[in-house]
Chains A and B, each alone.
Chain A
Amino acid sequence: IVMTQSPLFLPVTPGEPVSISCKSSQSLLNNNGYYFDWYLQKPGQSPQLLIYFGSRRASGVPARFSGSVSGTDFTLKISRVEAEDVGIYYCMQGLQPPFTFGPGTKVEIK
């Protein structure tokens, strides 16, 4: 399963909304949900789970992060981006192992 993301680079202004898109090459629907995740990797750290099952926020993730799904199109939204949100955002399909990641969206402060 191939995952594509856009944009690949995203300069942001603190306080503004942000949207990142990901598309899977086939349906990730299973068990009434989507086997699809969003991860954030901050510099020098392991990736951390933000959103799983398409739209569920992981434990401890701020409410400004949300995920939505429309068929094979997935969107991560940050309602008001903060300086601590910089890093690379990856989408991942968790349906068929080996699981595949998107190329990543690098988010930086303008």
Chain B
Amino acid sequence: EVQLVVSGGGLVQPGGSLRLSCAVSGFTFNFYEMNWVRQAPGSGPESVAYISNSGSVIYYADSVKGRFTISRDDAKNSLYLQMNSLRVEDTAVYYCARKSSYDGREYHYNGMDVWGQGTTVTVSS
């Protein structure tokens, strides 16, 4: 079964740090692009970080650039989001999501076809 399990959320003070993890199973992790998507209370989704299947290409939303770091460990089938200098406006449910794949020969656009269950990050004093 294809599965993404997110962990690491919690309550943190402004200026603090958290590290989110996304453990994947049921598919060949290193074929897939991965994303962190967050959703603030009452708002729509916001894609905040992207990493290519090889890990060589990374993008961030302007709102988190310089503070968040996305990484992946293919040996551990895991995706990470290191969040530093957290702000009140970073309060949200954070999801990891699988996106398109590259099998070494061909790129397949799949949309964000698998999502984790989300973890809540609350930044408050």
Contacts and interface: CB of A to CB of B under 8 A. Distances in A.
> A and B: real partners?
yes
Interface of A: 30-31, 33, 35, 37, 39, 41, 46-49, 51-53, 58-59, 88, 90, 92, 94, 97-104
B115 A53 contact: no
A48 B100 CA distance: 15
B11 interface: no
B59 A97 contact: yes
Given A49-B111, A53-B109, A103 B116 contact: no
Contact of A98 (B44, B48, B109, B116): B48
B46 interface: yes
A90 B107 CA distance: 24
A97 B50 contact: yes
Nearest to A56: B111
Contacts of B49: 98
A39 B95 CA distance: 14
Q: Is the interface of B mostly helix, strand, loop or mixed?
A: strand
Interface string B8-48: 00000000000000000000000000010100000011111
Nearest to A33: B109
B1 interface: no
Given A37-B111, A53-B111, A98-B59, A47 B50 contact: no
Interface size class of B (residues with CB under 8 A): 20 to 34
Contact of B109 (A35, A100, A102): A35
Contacts of B112: 37, 39, 47, 49, 92, 94, 99
Contacts of A33: 109
B88 interface: no
A107 B116 CA distance: 23
Contacts of A90: 44-45
Q: Please name the 5 residue pairs, one residue from A and one from B, whose CB atoms are nearest each other, closest first.
A: A52-B111, A97-B59, A97-B50, A37-B111, A46-B115
Given A46-B118, A101-B45, A94 B107 contact: no
B60 interface: yes
Contacts of A39: 45, 112
Contact of A46 (B35, B46, B99, B117): B117
